[in-house]
Structure 1
Amino acid sequence: MHEIDEFGWLEDVEGDESLAWVRERNAEAESELAGDAGFADLEAQLRTIFDSDQQIPMVTKRGDRYYNFWRDAEHPRGIWRRTTLESYRTPTPEWETVLDLDALNEAEGENWVWHGVETLRPEHPRVLIDLSRGGADADVTREFDLDTLSFVEDGFSRPESKGTLTWRDADSVFLVSALGPDTVNRAGYARTARVWHRGTPMSEAEIVFEGPADNVGYGIHALRDHTPGYERDLLLHYLDNRDSHLYLGDAHGGYARLDAPASAIARVHRDWLALELRDPWVLGDVTHPAGSLLIGRLDAYLAGGRDLTALFTPTDTSALADVTFTRDHVVLNVLTDVASSLTVATPTDHGWATRPLPGVPRLGTIHAGAVDDEESNAVWLVVTDYLTPTSLLLTDLDADEAPETLKSEPAFFDATGLAVTQRFATSDDGTRVPYFLVARDDLPLDGSTPTLLYGYGGFEISLTPGYAPSVGKGWLECGGGFVVANIRGGGEYGPRWHQAALRENRHRAYEDFAAVARDLVATGVTTAERLGVRGGSNGGLLTGNMLTQYPELFGAVVIQVPLLDMRRYSHLLAGASWMGEYGDPDDPGDWDFIQGFSPYHLVDAERSYPPALLLTSTRDDRVHPGHARKMMARLMDLGKDVRYFENIEGGHGGAADNGQRAHMEALYLTFLRGQLAL
Structure 2
Amino acid sequence: MTQLKRRDLLLWPLAAGLLPPAWAQDAPDPNDWLEGVQDGKALGWVHDRNAEAMALVSGEPDFARRRKETLAALSSSSNIQFVSRQGEHLYNFFRSASRPHGGWRRTTLQEYAKERPSWETLLNVDHLARDEARNIVFTGADVHAASQRALVFLSAGGEDKVELREFDLQQRAFLPQGFRTPTAKQSAAWYGPDELLVATEAGPGSVTTSGYAMELRRWKRGTDLLSAPVVLRGQPDDVQVYPISRRGEGLPPAALLHRRIRFFESEQHLMLGDAAPVRVDLPPDANAWLEGEWLMVSLRNAWTTGGRTYAAGGMLAIPLAQATAPQRDIHVLVEGRDRVKVRRVERVKDGFIVAFTDNLKPQLVFQRREGAGFRAQPLPAPEHGILYVQPDRPTQDNRFWLTTQGPISPQVLQLVDADAPGTPVLAKSQPHFFDASGLVVRQFEARSRDGTMVPYTVVGPATTSGPLPTLLYGYGGFGLTVDLEYQRLPGINWLQYGGVMVLSHIRGGGDFGQAWHQAGRHLQRQAAFDDFIAVAEDLVKRGVTTSRQLGIYGASNGGALVSAVMVQRPELFGAVVSRVPLTDMLGFTRLFAGPSWIDEYGDPARPADRAVLARWSPYQNAMKADAGKPYPPVLFIGNRNDDRVHPAHARKMVAQLRTLGHGNSWLYEEASGGHSGRTDPHIFALREALIYSFLRLQLAR
- TM-score, scaled to structure 2: 0.93
* CA separation of 1:80 and 1:423: change in aligned 2, threshold 3 A: same
Residue 95, structure 1, aligned to residue 119, structure 2: yes
Superposed, 1:275-314 pairs within 5 Å as 275-314=297-336
Q: Work out which of the residue numbers 450, 473, 476 in structure 2 matches 1:457.
A: 476
Whether the aligned pair in 1 keeps the contact of 2:254 and 2:273 (CA below 8 Å) is no
Which residue is equivalent to 1:176? 199
**CA distance in structure 2 between the partners assigned to 1:126 and 1:313 by the alignment:** 39
Q: Work out which of the residue numbers 209, 223, 237 in structure 1 matches 2:245.
A: 223
Q: Work out which of the residue numbers 80, 93, 97 in structure 2 matches 1:69.
A: 93
| CA offset digits 1:72-113 (Å, max 9, x no partner) | 122111011111111111111111211111111111101101
**CA distance in structure 1 between the partners assigned to 2:679 and 2:372 by the alignment:** 52
Residue 325, structure 1, aligned to residue 347, structure 2: yes
Alpha-carbon distance, 1:226 to partner: 5.3
Alpha-carbon distance, 1:254 to partner: 1.4
Whether the aligned pair in 1 keeps the contact of 2:570 and 2:632 (CA below 8 Å) is yes
SS at match of 1:628: helix
Residue 201, structure 1, aligned to residue 220, structure 2: no
| CA offset digits 1:403-435 (Å, max 9, x no partner) | 345210111001121000011111111111110
Q: Work out which of the residue numbers 292, 302, 312 in structure 2 matches 1:270.
A: 292
- Higher deviation after alignment, 492-501 or 631-640: 631-640
The amino acid of 1:650's aligned partner reads G
SS at match of 1:74: coil
Residue 627, structure 1, aligned to residue 649, structure 2: yes
* CA separation of 1:147 and 1:351: change in aligned 2, threshold 3 A: closer
Alpha-carbon distance, 1:27 to partner: 0.9
Alpha-carbon distance, 1:170 to partner: 2.5
| CA offset digits 1:580-611 (Å, max 9, x no partner) | 11000111121011111210011113321000
**CA distance in structure 1 between the partners assigned to 2:426 and 2:416 by the alignment:** 9
The amino acid of 1:204's aligned partner reads S
Which residue is equivalent to 2:17? none
Which residue is equivalent to 1:529? 548
Which residue is equivalent to 1:442? 463
Residue 471, structure 1, aligned to residue 490, structure 2: yes
Which residue is equivalent to 1:141? 164
Residue 212, structure 1, aligned to residue 235, structure 2: yes
**CA distance in structure 1 between the partners assigned to 2:619 and 2:302 by the alignment:** 36
The amino acid of 1:278's aligned partner reads R
Which residue is equivalent to 1:494? 513
Alpha-carbon distance, 1:250 to partner: 4.8
Which residue is equivalent to 1:579? 598
Residue 42, structure 1, aligned to residue 66, structure 2: yes
SS at match of 1:619: coil
Which residue is equivalent to 2:447? 426
The amino acid of 1:256's aligned partner reads V
SS at match of 1:390: strand
| CA offset digits 1:291-332 (Å, max 9, x no partner) | 122333332342211442333223334332222222321122
Which residue is equivalent to 1:161? 184
**CA distance in structure 2 between the partners assigned to 1:169 and 1:230 by the alignment:** 8
Whether the aligned pair in 2 keeps the contact of 1:339 and 1:464 (CA below 8 Å) is no
Residue 22, structure 1, aligned to residue 46, structure 2: yes
**CA distance in structure 2 between the partners assigned to 1:317 and 1:168 by the alignment:** 38
Superposed, 1:352-363 pairs within 5 Å as 352-358=374-380, 360-363=381-384
| CA offset digits 1:419-471 (Å, max 9, x no partner) | 00011111111111110000100133x3x200000010111111121112211
**CA distance in structure 1 between the partners assigned to 2:39 and 2:112 by the alignment:** 48
**CA distance in structure 2 between the partners assigned to 1:656 and 1:295 by the alignment:** 36
**CA distance in structure 2 between the partners assigned to 1:225 and 1:91 by the alignment:** 30
Residue 127, structure 1, aligned to residue 146, structure 2: no
Whether the aligned pair in 2 keeps the contact of 1:227 and 1:270 (CA below 8 Å) is no
Q: Any stretches of 5+ residues in structure 2 without a counterpart?
A: 1-22
Which residue is equivalent to 2:538? 519
| CA offset digits 1:350-382 (Å, max 9, x no partner) | 521111013x32321111111233443221111
**CA distance in structure 2 between the partners assigned to 1:299 and 1:223 by the alignment:** 16
Whether the aligned pair in 1 keeps the contact of 2:248 and 2:292 (CA below 8 Å) is no
| CA offset digits 1:619-654 (Å, max 9, x no partner) | 100111111111111112222110110110010012
* CA separation of 1:63 and 1:289: change in aligned 2, threshold 3 A: closer
The amino acid of 2:243's aligned partner reads H
Alpha-carbon distance, 1:124 to partner: 1.1
SS at match of 2:563: helix
Residue 150, structure 1, aligned to residue 189, structure 2: no
The amino acid of 2:78's aligned partner reads Q
* CA separation of 1:311 and 1:64: change in aligned 2, threshold 3 A: closer
SS at match of 1:182: coil
* CA separation of 1:95 and 1:541: change in aligned 2, threshold 3 A: same
Residue 408, structure 1, aligned to residue 432, structure 2: no
Whether the aligned pair in 2 keeps the contact of 1:115 and 1:130 (CA below 8 Å) is yes
Q: Work out which of the residue numbers 30, 35, 49 in structure 2 matches 1:6.
A: 30
* CA separation of 1:654 and 1:269: change in aligned 2, threshold 3 A: closer
Whether the aligned pair in 2 keeps the contact of 1:649 and 1:655 (CA below 8 Å) is no
The amino acid of 2:584's aligned partner reads D
**CA distance in structure 2 between the partners assigned to 1:220 and 1:654 by the alignment:** 25
Superposed, 1:354-393 pairs within 5 Å as 354-358=376-380, 360-393=381-414
**CA distance in structure 1 between the partners assigned to 2:173 and 2:272 by the alignment:** 36
Root mean square deviation, CA, Å: 1.6
**CA distance in structure 2 between the partners assigned to 1:671 and 1:481 by the alignment:** 15
Whether the aligned pair in 2 keeps the contact of 1:503 and 1:581 (CA below 8 Å) is yes
**CA distance in structure 1 between the partners assigned to 2:101 and 2:693 by the alignment:** 25
| CA offset digits 1:269-289 (Å, max 9, x no partner) | 233233221111223554322
SS at match of 1:90: coil
Whether the aligned pair in 2 keeps the contact of 1:617 and 1:650 (CA below 8 Å) is yes
**CA distance in structure 2 between the partners assigned to 1:502 and 1:432 by the alignment:** 17
Whether the aligned pair in 2 keeps the contact of 1:449 and 1:481 (CA below 8 Å) is yes
**CA distance in structure 1 between the partners assigned to 2:374 and 2:244 by the alignment:** 31
Identity %: 38
* CA separation of 1:285 and 1:226: change in aligned 2, threshold 3 A: closer
The amino acid of 2:36's aligned partner reads D
**CA distance in structure 2 between the partners assigned to 1:251 and 1:228 by the alignment:** 13
**CA distance in structure 2 between the partners assigned to 1:225 and 1:83 by the alignment:** 20
